[in-house]
Amino acid sequence: MLTTRLKVQVPPDEIDLDAPLFGTGLGLDSVDAVELVVAIEAELKVRMPEGQVGPWAFRTVHSLVDYVVTARQAGSA
Amino acid sequence: MTAPGHRALREAAAYLRHDRSGPSVDVLWLRGDGARDAVLRLLSSRLLLRDGQAQQSLLLRDDGTILADVTVCADDESYLLVIERGPLGRDALLQHLAARLDGLDDVALEDAAPTHEVISLHGPFAWELVAEVLGQDLVALPYLNFFRMDEGLVLRAGKTGEFGYDLLVRRELADGLVTRIAEAGAAFDAVEIDAGTLSAARFEGWFFDPSIDYPAIEGLGPVTPIELQLQWRLSQREHVGRAALLSRRAALSERPELARKLACVVLSATPEDDVLRLDGAPVGALVRKATSPASGLVFGAALLRADLAHAGLVLDAAGARAKVVAPPLLDNRSLYVDARRHAYRTRDEIAFGAPSRLSAPEAP
């Protein structure tokens, strides 16, 4: 998703889980954040309502994966 | 009970004079027509900087291991390097740089230590204190940008998850500036902190700390940015240490079972030793342990088998359990503070998150 939809210019096997998503990490910006939410909701079927997702979720690839996995588990419980 | 210094850093503002209580910070300028070629050779990261911008990078040794943590600033035609070298001696750092610059034309390395001191401010309301002391224009200073001022330079580059600023101040003005910070800081409940407080905050915020001594990986060699999840600070161009990193990647593609990643684990208790196991087999080791001042959780940094370094996995430790988590350990208040709408005196109106979203695993 990061390399195909958001065009992150890093080979997938060099994207570390704990890499920051924004700024000088993977270089995403606020426009990418919107695209990321749209992509996650469409492809992973996880709702990310504005104001209900803590800002921590967008810090790193790992925190975002953790949010998605937890949300999917909660949804299937 | 949280120490006053840590509480100030996490809830208000805190300041530190690095000359008096580390961590060791060196500030060097690279000047001359060859300065850009020099930073491209010395530093590992992509360097896409306009004047006034900064970027996190690394100084690597020839074997690909990390010599120091660097924030590089594009200062007109020159480059300013803010370097945290951990336990490395200052002379060793300068010798490393001089040796790697050998053969480059028209570049001069200028040490700021004789003329400048570094004072740092951290906290969810550090931006407001900085603006109060140095000017309201600084409220709008973006992350990883710097601003020149009469006293020297102010760089916004936090390493705790909160708003953070490094002030590079002319030595003859430093005492006066600290007095002004302390006086204005009274309205922010600001506290002067020491290196230990900053180190603890940095660790629970999961920022790279060059002072940690990582053990070599059996069958692979010393730890590099690949294992430390710092590949986002590596570029594809030639730089010091790049050949060793390419060799490491080649070795890992041949023997992926040797791959290790630095992972954050929350512990049910402080374990009796550092070995982490899965189904009885060793899969990694803790390299640093602490209790998070903000969350109260016992946690650690572990070099784990790379395929296991994912949030949710629970491992066995000696007398404890270790759950892999996505750091940081806390939900930083700075993420909820908006400099356009908020102020320290009205902080009670801000809906902060819980101190942490994480929890400890059950004891064995």
Q: What share of chain B in percent tops pLDDT 90?
A: 89
Q: Which residues contact A68 (CB under 8 A, 6 or more apart)?
A: A40, A44, A46
User: Which of B155, B232, B233, B248 to mutate against chain A (most A CBs within 10 Å)?
Assistant: B232
Strand partners, B70: B57, B83
Could you tell me how many residues make up chain B?
A: 364
Do the Cβ atoms of B272 and B319 come closer than 8 Å? yes
Contacts of A25 in chain B (CB under 8 A): 232
**Angle in degrees, 0-180, between the axes of helices A61-76 and A30-44, rounded to the nearest 10:** 30
Model pTM greater than 0.90?
yes
B311, A66: Cβ pair inside 8 Å? yes
- Is the pLDDT at B1 greater than 70, yes or no? no
A24, B326: Cβ pair inside 8 Å? no
Which one-letter amino acid corresponds to residue A24?
A: T
Closest chain A residue to B48, measured at CA: A24
Write out pLDDT tens, residues B140-192. Answer: 999 999 999 988 999 999 899 999 999 999 999 999 999 999 999 999 999 99
Residue bearing the bigger pLDDT, B231 or A2: B231
Q: For residue B161, how many other CB atoms are within 10 A of its CB?
A: 28
| Cα distance between residue B120 and residue B25, in whole Å | 11
- Is the pLDDT at B265 greater than 90, yes or no? yes
Q: How do B25-31 and B314-317 pair as beta strands?
A: unpaired
Do the Cβ atoms of B208 and B228 come closer than 8 Å? yes
Q: Measured between CB atoms, does A17 come within 8 Å of chain B?
A: yes
Closest chain B residue to A25, measured at CA: B232
Instruction: Report pLDDT for B306.
Output: 96
Q: For residue B14, how many other CB atoms are within 10 A of its CB?
A: 30
Residue bearing the bigger pLDDT, B88 or B73: B73
Here the ipTM equals 0.88
- Across all residues in chain A, what is the average pLDDT? 85
B229, A17: Cβ pair inside 8 Å? yes
Instruction: Report pLDDT for B353.
Output: 86
* CA distances (Å), origin B154, targets B5, B117, B131, B217: 22, 12, 11, 39
Strand partners, B221: B217
Instruction: Report pLDDT for A76.
Output: 59
- Is the pLDDT at B318 greater than 90, yes or no? yes
| Cα distance between residue B137 and residue B142, in whole Å | 11
B354, burial (CB in 10 Å: exposed 0-12, middle 13-18, buried 19+): exposed
Write out pLDDT tens, residues B332-353. Answer: 999 999 999 999 999 999 999 8
B312, A23: Cβ pair inside 8 Å? no
B229, A19: Cβ pair inside 8 Å? yes
- Is the pLDDT at B207 greater than 60, yes or no? yes
B264, burial (CB in 10 Å: exposed 0-12, middle 13-18, buried 19+): buried
Strand partners, B265: B300, B324
| A26 to chain B, closest Cα gap in Å | 7
Ramachandran angles phi, psi of B50, nearest 5°: -95, 165
The shares of helix, strand and coil residues in chain B, as percent rounded to the nearest 5, are 30, 30, 40
- Across all residues in chain B, what is the average pLDDT? 95
Instruction: Report pLDDT for A28.
Output: 87
**Tokens 């990078």 sit on residue:** B57
Q: How many CB pairs under 8 A join A and B?
A: 66
Weakest mean pLDDT among A24-33, B3-12, B190-199, B250-259: A24-33
Sheet holding B54-60, edge to edge: B54-60, B66-75, B78-84, B25-31, B108-111
Q: How do B314-317 and B78-84 pair as beta strands?
A: unpaired
Q: Which residues contact B4 (CB under 8 A, 6 or more apart)?
A: B191
Task: List b or e across B54-90, with b for residues whose CB sees 16 or more CB atoms inside 10 angstroms.
Answer: bbbbbbbbeebbbbbbbbbbbbeebbbbbbbbbebee
| B58 to chain A, closest Cα gap in Å | 13
Q: Measured between CB atoms, does A25 come within 8 Å of chain B?
A: yes
Residue bearing the bigger pLDDT, B177 or A4: B177
Do the Cβ atoms of B35 and B112 come closer than 8 Å? no
For the residues B18-46, what does the mean pLDDT come to? 91
B104, burial (CB in 10 Å: exposed 0-12, middle 13-18, buried 19+): middle
